Amino acid sequence: MLDLVVRGANLPDGRNGYDIGVIGGKIVEIAPQLAAPAAREIDARGRLVTPPFVDSHFHMDATLSVGRPRFNESGTLLEGIAIWAEQKPLLTAEDVRERALELCRWAIARGNLAIRTHVDICDDRLLAVDALLDVRETMAPYIDLQLVAFPQDGFLRDASARVNLLRALDRGVDVVGGIPHFERTMADGAASVRELCEIAAKRGLLVDMHCDETDDPLSRHVETLAAETMRLGLHGRVTGSHLTSMHSMDNYYVSKLLPLMLEAGVHAVANPLINIVIQGRHDTYPKRRGMTRVSEMAAIGINVSFGHDCVMDPWYSLGSHDMLEVAHMAVHVGQLTGREEMRGAFMSVTANGARTLGLAGYGLEVGKNADLVVLQAADPIEAIRLRANRLCVIRRGNVIAESPAVESQIFIGDRARRVDFGAGAQS
Ligand code: FE2
């Protein structure tokens, strides 16, 4: 007797019409037409069933605070950082907690069951750290939160950042962050990368740095990040986030850089919604797009995942924590319109993200966690095209979110017709 069976699913790898059997929160069987009875059945015929979406890069301490204390009128990264600095002294732990919990509810409804969130440690009170540690524990049955100790004002530039970062790690923050391009000099940026990687190596932690979030082609801290990863034996445990300077780098230099990143096993995270809004702000015309070289990195085997980065905060006033919106934007900004490239974009908001975070038990395989999302779409490309409705979100075999199928009735001529965009329109 199964606890749950999901019937007739289309799988992300292209297999169609499979049943997924669940016992004790784990996937126990994937096959066409499972005969075993089940306590609960979900009809997913013709629908894509995927492991959950993963957001590889987010800022939960700032989310849902747009307009406090003012709006970002220039739209630049630096005005966003200035507004956040004005807001920080006004934060309370309860405020951070409530906004983060609301964002988690949005994420669950969207089928995003894992988020790596940076938390600013440049506040001697560390109240956002404490609030998000509390949210991580409260929401653990429903969503995996991974926290990054993020020195927003610069690890070396801010006088108390070093002490506060170590305090945050002592309290249980999972990952060491950094922002080398925001240090005072290139030399300071490189020094910050070295010291932060050493801290991670000493404590056995992961690393995820905001790295080269600039249009300056000479901002090359990712090179130091990859070299330090190799020097300290951190292979596979380090992530470079944003990497937007790579968009503007010299092609010859990049032809040397990418193999170095691959050799070091550095994961790359692009944040398409934010990159297209923030980058190129100093350009007149033509304006650079700024997103990092997604298809070139993927082509040589670097693990590339996507983050939402911001939802309604000082840097970005839009969004609803929809990772399919992120993938949709990536396809457009990166001109990833080839069939394999679009399927790759879907992987960048699912399995690749799980690899970046190092999630255990993730995946649509026997023995993995029964964490599944049923989409109102037939396949990954249609899911991106429609930013498809999440019909059902399952965590450890339990349904934790449901949405009715979206359809319209249209009245043309003498009869009503039903339109279901996600019914498998040859994508
Ligand atoms: Fe970020």
Start and end residues for every CATH 3.20.20.140 domain found in the chain: 53-357
Please answer whether residues 254 and 302 qualify as being in contact, where contact means their C-beta atoms are separated by less than 8 angstroms. Answer: no
Instruction: State pLDDT tens for residues 346-384.
Output: 999 999 999 999 999 999 999 999 999 999 999 999 999
Query: Does the pLDDT value for residue 36 go beyond 90?
Result: yes
How many angstroms does the Cα of residue 119 sit away from the middle of ligand 1?
Answer: 10
| Spatial CB neighbours of 216, under 8 Å, sequence gap ≥ 6 | 181, 245, 248
Mean pLDDT, to the nearest integer, of 174-198?
98
- Give burial (CB, 10 Å; 0-12/13-18/19+) of 93: middle
Question: Among the CATH numbers 3.40.50.970, 3.40.1260.10, 2.30.40.10, 3.30.56.10, which is that of 2-51+363-420?
Answer: 2.30.40.10
Query: Does the pLDDT value for residue 304 go beyond 80?
Result: yes
Question: What is the pLDDT, as a whole number, of residue 122?
Answer: 97
Question: What is the pLDDT, as a whole number, of residue 413?
Answer: 87
Question: What percent of the chain lies above the pLDDT cut of 70?
Answer: 99
Cis omega before residue 286 (within 30°)?
yes
How many angstroms does the Cα of residue 70 sit away from the middle of ligand 1?
Answer: 20
Instruction: State pLDDT tens for residues 397-413.
Output: 999 999 999 989 999 88
What is the C-alpha to C-alpha distance for residues 173 and 198, in angstroms, rounded to an integer?
16
Question: Among the CATH numbers 3.10.20.30, 2.60.15.10, 3.20.20.140, 3.40.50.300, which is that of 53-357?
Answer: 3.20.20.140
How many angstroms does the Cα of residue 262 sit away from the middle of ligand 1?
Answer: 22
Question: What is the pLDDT, as a whole number, of residue 424?
Answer: 59
- Give burial (CB, 10 Å; 0-12/13-18/19+) of 392: buried
Question: What is the pLDDT, as a whole number, of residue 410?
Answer: 93
Start and end residues for every CATH 2.30.40.10 domain found in the chain: 2-51+363-420
Residue listed under structure tokens 């126990």: 28
Instruction: State pLDDT tens for residues 102-119.
Output: 999 999 999 999 999 999
**29, 41, 86, 213: which is the annotated catalytic residue?**
213
Question: What is the pLDDT, as a whole number, of residue 425?
Answer: 54
What is the C-alpha to C-alpha distance for residues 302 and 338, in angstroms, rounded to an integer?
19
Question: What is the pLDDT, as a whole number, of residue 427?
Answer: 43
Beta strand pairing call for 238-242 and 267-270: parallel
Please answer whether residues 100 and 135 qualify as being in contact, where contact means their C-beta atoms are separated by less than 8 angstroms. Answer: yes
Instruction: State pLDDT tens for residues 238-297.
Output: 999 999 999 999 999 999 999 999 999 999 999 999 999 999 999 999 999 999 999 999
| Known catalytic membership, residue 402 | no
pTM: 0.97
Query: Does the pLDDT value for residue 299 go beyond 90?
Result: yes
